[in-house]
Structure 1
Amino acid sequence: MLNVDLSGKRALVTGASSGIGEAIAGMLAQAGADIAINYFGPSDAAEAVAARARQAGVRAMTAKADISDPDQVSAMFAAMEGTLGGIDILVNDAGMDGPAAPAWEADLAAWRRVLDVNLFGTFLCSREALRRMVPRQSGVIVNLSSVHETIPWSGYSAYTSSKAAVSMLTKTLAQEAAPHGVRVLAIAPGAIRTPINQSVWGDPAGLADLERKIPMGRMGDRDEIARMVAVLASDLASYVTGTTVFVDGGMTDFASFAHGG
């Protein structure tokens, strides 16, 4: 159990029906927050996450929305307001990496879709949250960035560009919102073991190659991300805003230089 108390807080987690988002929603519920679970695909997984949250003794709802669509985002926040009465915590987790391709072969529609979800989706949800948080002089937004806000990744120029942009968006929103009692920050996971990347960690050679890039020598667990989100969303981090917290086992610490240049 967490030694974090989010009792009475109302949190929206985007992309919360699976992976890291699912773990974050569960952790916030465990800490006492009421949860709105955003999803885009079939509802079964999201409803299961909500059911587990209710078992923790909190209120939970599901909210289907394409976060890149302003109208759907607006409707989702209105639904949350009607069911939970408002929002105190927003976690912008929903994202995608898109198909791998060098820039000169990239499909423009696919490239743009990554930006629409990762960057515009984060902005649209943050905008709706801030419209509610700023007048109340209270609230926290945690954006899911990535180690690839600083580490290039060949074949994924849309993803890396979007995450670098999320980093600067976070800083700018934090600067705007700080005088109004609202904190905005980002968390950057490294290599986290989830079903979506099973093709990597399920292959011994691929896993060994990945682990050589991590000073701690292992992939992270999604609960290690979720615990940090819960801390950052709580009053334990009351003086933290406008920055990215890397939870990456040291991946951004240039593991290849551990034995000299």
Structure 2
Amino acid sequence: MNSIKQSFDLEGKVAVITGSSKGIGKAIAQGLAEYGAKVVISSRSQEAVDEVAAEFKTAGLEAVGIACHIGKKTERQNLVHKTIAHYGGIDILINNAAINPVYGPIEDADEEVFDKIMDVNVKAPWMLSNLVMSSMKERGGGSIVNIASVEALHPGAGLGLYSTSKAALLMLTKNQAKEWGPYGIRANVVCPGLIKTKFSAALWQNEKLLQKIEKTLPSARMGMPDEIAGIVCLLASDAGAYMTGGVYNADGGYMIAG
């Protein structure tokens, strides 16, 4: 009888998590590390990633900090090369870093903003995944988890371009799953709802707006970053070995809310 508990074990696996110096990314990195993975903490600031890596090491977890602005080609390449040089390969990629520089009607945004959003939210995960693919192939497979948003599935207010970029990420993931399945590489998407992070502060710091949102949710509250970590650990591990090309919501019931 195979041990189900054992299938969550990530001992010997190497995981790269973008945007992991805080919020959802940091919680995911912690979860993967607690299951035994060697984790690469990555965000734009070397100081910030070093701080998190040091915090993890103090807690007995294996981590290294490698700064990377995922919108820049050379920095993406550097992240992958440095990870392979340090840990020998890559088994898990969590494309979590994203931006949303505008809030408002789609007709008010300018082209530069559109390009910036698409560059970071769609192009960077595509390019990063391509960069890690050969290492995953060599190691007999791997798991890519792209962090999208419920905005990819349901249009909200004032987040049109962000929504569009996240919807594109969904289809990118499905294509990765379809094309790379023969190499043992799985790709899945997690769509968080409203999670208490700095990224979503504009929504939850407005008390009236927060109450309005929470009233409509079956869970009657917003989520916390560590509530996204569990499903990512499942998708990253052998416990999720038969899951690929899937879109999984962690949204407190937002998608069924009336």
Q: Shorter-chain TM-score category?
A: over 0.9
For the 8 Å contact 2:142–2:185, the answer to whether it is kept is yes
Determine the structure 1 residue equivalent to 2:169.
166
Equivalences for residues 1-261 of structure 1 within 5 A = 4-40=8-44, 42-253=45-256, 255-256=257-258
For the 8 Å contact 1:26–1:52, the answer to whether it is kept is no
> Which has the larger displacement, 103-112 or 165-174?
103-112
CA distance in 1, matches of 2:179, 2:199: 35
| Structure 1 gap segments, 5+ residues each | 257-261
Q: Cα deviation per residue 1:30-69 (whole Å; 9 max; x = unaligned)?
A: 11110111111x3332112111222343432111122122
CA distance in 2, matches of 1:222, 1:151: 21
Structure-2-length-normalised TM-score: 0.93
CA distance in 1, matches of 2:149, 2:206: 23
Where in structure 1 do 4 or more consecutive aligned residues deviate above 4 Å?
Answer: none
For the residue of structure 1 that corresponds to 2:199, the secondary structure is helix
Q: Cα deviation per residue 1:210-251 (whole Å; 9 max; x = unaligned)?
A: 112322111111101011111111111110000111111111
Structure 1 residue 203: Cα displacement: 3.3
> Which has the larger displacement, 211-220 or 117-126?
211-220
For the 8 Å contact 1:98–1:111, the answer to whether it is kept is no
> Which has the larger displacement, 65-74 or 85-94?
65-74
> Which has the larger displacement, 188-197 or 128-137?
128-137
| Structure 2 gap segments, 5+ residues each | none
Determine the structure 2 residue equivalent to 1:259.
none
Structure-1-length-normalised TM-score: 0.92
For the residue of structure 2 that corresponds to 1:8, the secondary structure is coil
For the 8 Å contact 2:46–2:66, the answer to whether it is kept is no
> Which has the larger displacement, 240-249 or 127-136?
127-136
Structure 1 residue 130: Cα displacement: 1.1
Structure 1 residue 206: Cα displacement: 1.7
CA distance in 1, matches of 2:74, 2:18: 16
Give the RMSD, CA atoms, in angstroms. 1.4
CA distance in 1, matches of 2:196, 2:112: 29
> Which has the larger displacement, 186-195 or 53-62?
53-62
For the residue of structure 2 that corresponds to 1:183, the secondary structure is strand
Q: Cα deviation per residue 1:150-199 (whole Å; 9 max; x = unaligned)?
A: 11123222211111000000000000111111111111101111133334
For the 8 Å contact 2:15–2:39, the answer to whether it is kept is yes
Aligned amino acid, residue 128 of structure 2: C
CA distance in 1, matches of 2:216, 2:132: 37
